[in-house]
Amino acid sequence: MVACAIALGANLGNPQQTLEAAFQALNRPPDLHLVAQSHLYQTAPVGPPQPDYINACALVETTLPPPDLLKTLLQIEQQFGRVRRVRWGPRSLDLDLLFYGQQVIDTPTLQVPHPRLGDRAFVLVPLAEIAPDWMDPTTGHTVQTLSQAIDQTGVRRLDIAPP
């Protein structure tokens, strides 16, 4: 089993309900096991004008190789009605593979660690909640250190505890 970190985000429909259901969906495939999930966080959008996002992070364990895990994440997005129209546009569900163990992957279809991880408080804050000591293999810094080094303005934790 390989430990992986996944970012979740949504801002269409009922995002809180969507993320709660998405956590459950991450635990359904037989080769994917949800280990931990963060609180939900409300954040301002990046990109074109749109509603605020609800974001979270999950830790999973899997036996899937990275391309198959990505395929599974894209299938889960589609189950929640994800349609890709505009870059950084509104979405029913977004699942990003942040870390796959300590591997560095750079292919035309997959980059791990996620290339914009270090710039995104809406990812680092919830990830630091559940994996503060995870070492980013490209920077050598822990998630906690990366989170503390970024402006966290506009990232508000909701009073909804993970199960």
Catalytic residue numbers, as ranges: 82, 91, 94, 96
Q: What's the rounded Cα separation, in Å, for the pair 135 and 130?
A: 13
53 φ/ψ angles, rounded to the nearest 5 degrees: -100, 155
Residue with tokens 């995870």: 134
Of the candidates 133, 63, 137, 67, the one whose C-alpha atom is nearest the C-alpha of residue 99 is 137
State the DSSP H helix or E strand holding residue 23, giving kind and residue range, or none if neither: helix 15-25
